[in-house]
């Protein structure tokens, strides 16, 4: 039986004449979708704002597009409408969204960035006359993400545990807030806007959420100050970097649907799933996330045994922050 899942990584097909999700030939150059939702770009005036690519080139949010068939675009539109309605209302509605819908929405953005990065890499390789050097580990991750994103158009069941995990937090941000981050090497995504924030790990089988379980329980039912959410975000981005497994999945295709099952993360080496947490490196990550408040690495790790934190006071409780600007 021919596979129902399209794999562009076999022949490295990333042109603009082929639907990025299904591989079908497009009839017109107009068959494309924006990577970032149009409603979001307009709401936060992002269309002409700079977006930095891995090769240091600066493009605009609006210039990031995906070649996409009309049928696939219509399927994405249904997801977009559902997420847009929830995000325009705020935290409670976003929290109530189906996790798979949120994954498809986030996955399209993150994979869209990956697709544009690969196209830029191919163009650069052609110009230089050199072969494109692409990490096989990244191909493995991106291929799996692409397969899972096809749940939008192929009946699919994630068995036992979702490959992705999405956390939604209530945050007391300024109303005009829009802050997007991603790290495509580790497939982690964060978004803070209005009165909510989202952290998504797209290929760890929920392991980072288990790693940060104490923190997640600690802040549960609390509305966070932006600096508190950014601290959680820094912890997540750093732990995603420390995550030292390359998750494997089995794909079983039947006439009815595709079943995806994660393989166990433990291996014969018995090596811990996360590398050791280094306070100085974490401090550098946190310094970057706390830029709006101006805290320096020296201040953050002045006491290496107890780095600066806005998630715990001296008694171990979540402090209420009233005298810091809402960046």
| pLDDT given at position 160 | 86
Distance of CA 327 to the CA centre of its chain: 21
| pLDDT given at position 2 | 57
Query: Does residue 11 belong to any structural domain of this protein?
Result: no
pLDDT one-digit tens code per residue, 295-318: 999 999 999 889 999 999 888 889
More confident residue, 243 or 327: 243
Domains contained in the chain, number: 1
Mean pLDDT score, 106-119: 94
- Residue 45: is its pLDDT beyond 90? yes
Query: Does residue 13 belong to any structural domain of this protein?
Result: no
| pLDDT given at position 311 | 95
| pLDDT given at position 127 | 79
pLDDT one-digit tens code per residue, 272-298: 999 999 999 999 999 999 999 999 999
245: left (phi over 0), alpha (psi -120 to 50) or beta: beta
Q: To the nearest whole number, what is the mean pLDDT of the chain? A: 92
Q: What is the 3-state secondary structure (H, E, C) of the chain?
A: CCCCCCCCCCCCCCCCCECCCCCCECCCCCCEEECCCHHHHHHCCCCCCEEECCCCCEEEHHHCEEECCHHHHHHHHHHHHHHHHHHHHCHHHHHCCCHHHHHHHHHHHHHHHHHHHHHHHHHHHHHHCCCCCCCHHHHHHHHHHHHHHHHHCCCEEECCCCCCEEEEEEECCCCCCEEEEEECCCCEEEEEECCEEEEEECCCCCHHHHHCHHHHHHHCCCCECHHHHHHHHHHHHHHHHHECCCCCEEEEECCCCEEEEECCCCCCCCCCCECCCCHHHHHHHHHHHCHHHCCCHHHHCCCCCCCCCCCCCCCCCCCCCCCCCCC
* Greatest C-alpha distance within the chain: 64
Mean pLDDT score, 233-252: 95
pTM: predicted TM-score of the whole model, two decimal places:
0.93
**52: pLDDT confidence band, cut at 50, 70 and 90?**
confident
Query: Does residue 96 belong to any structural domain of this protein?
Result: yes
Q: What is the distance between the alpha carbons of residues 201 and 205, in angstroms, rounded to a whole number? A: 8
Domain carrying residue 244: 32-300
Query: Does residue 3 belong to any structural domain of this protein?
Result: no
- Residue 1: is its pLDDT beyond 60? no
| pLDDT given at position 228 | 97
| pLDDT given at position 135 | 86
pLDDT one-digit tens code per residue, 2-42: 578 999 999 888 999 999 999 999 999 889 999 999 999 99
Query: Does residue 107 belong to any structural domain of this protein?
Result: yes
Other Cβ atoms within 10 Å of 303 Cβ, number:
9
**104: pLDDT confidence band, cut at 50, 70 and 90?**
very high
- Residue 241: is its pLDDT beyond 70? yes
187: left (phi over 0), alpha (psi -120 to 50) or beta: left
| pLDDT given at position 66 | 97
- Residue 268: is its pLDDT beyond 80? no
> Is residue 60 a contact partner of residue 50, using CB atoms and an 8 Å limit?
yes
Query: Does residue 27 belong to any structural domain of this protein?
Result: no
pLDDT one-digit tens code per residue, 144-170: 999 999 999 999 999 889 999 999 999
Query: Does residue 12 belong to any structural domain of this protein?
Result: no
Query: Does residue 286 belong to any structural domain of this protein?
Result: yes
């Amino acid at each position: 039986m021919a596979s129902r899942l399209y794999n562009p990584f076999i022949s490295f097909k990333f042109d603009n004449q082929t639907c990025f999700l299904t591989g079908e030939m497009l009839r017109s150059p107009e068959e494309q979708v924006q990577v970032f939702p149009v409603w979001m770009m307009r709401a936060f005036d992002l269309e002409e704002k700079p977006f930095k690519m891995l090769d240091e080139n600066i493009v605009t949010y609006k210039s990031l597009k995906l070649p996409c068939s009309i049928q696939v675009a219509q399927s994405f539109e249904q997801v977009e409408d559902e997420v847009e309605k929830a995000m325009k209302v705020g935290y409670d509605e976003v929290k109530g969204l189906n996790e798979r819908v949120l994954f498809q929405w986030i996955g399209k953005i993150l994979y869209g960035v990956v697709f544009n990065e690969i196209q830029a890499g191919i163009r650069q390789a052609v110009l230089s006359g050199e072969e494109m050097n692409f990490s096989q580990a990244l191909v493995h991750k991106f291929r799996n993400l692409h397969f899972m994103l096809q749940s939008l158009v192929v009946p699919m069941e994630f068995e036992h545990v979702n490959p992705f995990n999405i956390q939604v937090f209530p945050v007391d941000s300024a109303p005009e807030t829009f802050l997007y981050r991603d790290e495509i090497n580790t497939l982690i995504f964060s978004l803070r806007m209005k009165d909510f924030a989202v952290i998504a790990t797209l290929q760890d089988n929920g392991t980072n959420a288990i790693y940060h379980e104490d923190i997640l329980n600690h802040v549960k039912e609390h509305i966070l100050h932006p600096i508190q959410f950014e601290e959680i975000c820094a912890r997540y981005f750093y732990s995603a970097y420390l995550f030292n497994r390359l998750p494997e999945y089995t794909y079983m295709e039947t006439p009815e649907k595709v079943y995806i099952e994660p393989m166990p993360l433990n291996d014969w080496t018995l090596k811990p799933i996360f590398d050791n947490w280094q306070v100085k490196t974490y401090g550098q990550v946190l310094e970057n996330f706390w830029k709006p408040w101006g805290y320096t690495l020296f201040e953050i790790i002045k006491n290496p045994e107890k780095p600066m934190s806005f998630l715990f006071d001296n008694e171990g409780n979540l402090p209420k922050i009233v005298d810091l600007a809402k960046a």
